[in-house]
């Protein structure tokens, strides 16, 4: 049996094992997916030992390791290197290669719900690994990308990285995550994205944006998927906005990872249903 892990800290909120194990069973593959909490100070040792063993096919990577994992890998895919974050790893005979499937997953989810993203104006909250991936997928398509983050230096660093993309189309700017800057940015936006952990279980009372700033002209996307209807999404719905749960991004990035590990197309519909059922009927 081949093993795939989710490595992060914490990992108890994750639905990745539910999703991937359902897919492995459906296709009759001798694979198992396990959640593996790894503290930051343990990351190097875990990658150097267990992750390279012959029965380990690879791993998904989540908070807080998506950036720090890069220094422990043998090779980084071009897209992941451009993003500056890794969310999945393939073990090929003890050699570890890092990829980023979050970017593809986010773009696919947004385009399915919003339509053609070309010419759109997007506000992105966050500057960590998820924000890097989402920003990378949008910088070459949308007209305007405004990045808001509590630590403004990290937002500026992200803007600098995205601005250097050779096929960038977006005008990109960074501002502190304050009510004033949120209000100004949202006023001109078509899409508002939360790429932070705010609102994730168990701290479900948190939200990155006060509900009174939201309105009916927005598509509001939360990369958080547990719970599937975060406070952020509930208040967006109450304000008349269209909403997009993080479940769709989870499934699409997971399907891309599944193909890299197994060489088989993933049963995306089954994966989505497994997550929805586990979360009590949450919708894509």
For residue 184, give the CATH number of its domain: 3.40.50.720
Co-location of 125 and 258 in the same domain: no
Buried b vs exposed e over 151-160: b needs ≥16 C-beta within 10 Å?
A: ebebbbbbbe
| Structural domain contains residue 283 | no
Co-location of 221 and 264 in the same domain: no
| Structural domain contains residue 284 | no
| Structural domain contains residue 259 | yes
- Res 83: pLDDT: 92
Report yes or no: 261 and 109 within 8 Å, Cβ to Cβ. Answer: no
For 72-109, what is each residue's pLDDT tens digit? 999 999 999 999 999 999 999 999 999 999 999 999 99
- Res 13: pLDDT: 87
Co-location of 86 and 157 in the same domain: no
Q: Is the peptide bond before 100 cis (omega within 30 degrees of 0)?
A: no
Please provide the distance, in angstroms rounded to a whole number, between the alpha carbons at the two ends of the chain.
31
Co-location of 72 and 140 in the same domain: no
Co-location of 82 and 119 in the same domain: no
Co-location of 151 and 66 in the same domain: no
| Structural domain contains residue 54 | yes
Residues in a beta bridge with 121:
144
| Structural domain contains residue 264 | yes
| Structural domain contains residue 72 | yes
CA dist., res. 126 & res. 177, Å (int): 9
- Res 110: pLDDT: 98
Co-location of 115 and 235 in the same domain: yes
Q: Model's pTM, two decimal places?
A: 0.92
Counting the structural domains of the chain, the total is 2
CATH number at residue 14: 3.40.50.10860
Co-location of 75 and 124 in the same domain: no
Report yes or no: 83 and 106 within 8 Å, Cβ to Cβ. Answer: no
Catalytic residue list:
66
The boundaries of the domain holding residue 128 are 103-244
Residue reference for tokens 């991936």: 133
Co-location of 17 and 78 in the same domain: yes
CA dist., res. 176 & res. 147, Å (int): 8
10-residue averages of pLDDT along the chain (284 residues):
97 94 98 98 98 98 94 97 94 98 97 97 95 95 98 96 92 98 96 96 95 96 95 98 97 98 98 94 54
Co-location of 116 and 238 in the same domain: yes
Co-location of 110 and 239 in the same domain: yes
CA dist., res. 57 & res. 2, Å (int): 6
Co-location of 85 and 160 in the same domain: no
């Amino acid at each position: 049996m081949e093993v795939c892990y989710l490595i992060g800290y914490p990992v108890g909120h994750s639905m990745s094992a539910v999703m991937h194990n359902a897919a492995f069973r459906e296709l009759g593959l001798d694979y198992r997916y396990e959640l593996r909490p790894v503290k930051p100070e343990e990351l190097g040792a875990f990658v150097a030992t267990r992750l390279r063993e012959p029965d380990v096919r690879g791993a998904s990577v989540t908070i807080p390791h998506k950036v720090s994992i890069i220094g422990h890998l043998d090779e980084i895919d071009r897209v992941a290197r451009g993003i500056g974050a890794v969310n999945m790893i393939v073990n090929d005979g003890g050699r570890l290669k890092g990829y980023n499937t979050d970017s593809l997953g986010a773009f696919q989810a947004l385009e399915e719900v919003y339509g053609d993203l070309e010419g759109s104006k997007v506000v992105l909250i966050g500057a960590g690994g998820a924000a890097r991936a989402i920003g990378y997928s949008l910088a070459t398509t949308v007209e305007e990308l405004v990045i808001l983050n509590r630590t403004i230096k990290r937002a500026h660093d992200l803007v600098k990285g995205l601005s250097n993309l050779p096929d960038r189309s977006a005008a990109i700017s960074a501002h502190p995550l304050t009510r004033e800057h949120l209000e100004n940015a949202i006023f001109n936006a078509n899409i508002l994205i939360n790429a932070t952990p705010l609102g994730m279980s168990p701290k479900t009372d948190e939200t990155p944006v006060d509900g009174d700033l939201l309105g009916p002209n927005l598509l509001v996307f939360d990369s958080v998927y547990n719970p599937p209807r975060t406070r952020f999404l509930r208040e967006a719905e109450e304000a008349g906005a269209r909403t997009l749960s993080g479940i769709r991004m989870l499934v699409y990035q997971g399907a891309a990872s599944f193909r890299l590990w197994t060489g088989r197309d993933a049963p995306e519909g089954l994966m989505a249903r497994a997550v929805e059922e586990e979360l009590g009927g949450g919708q894509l």
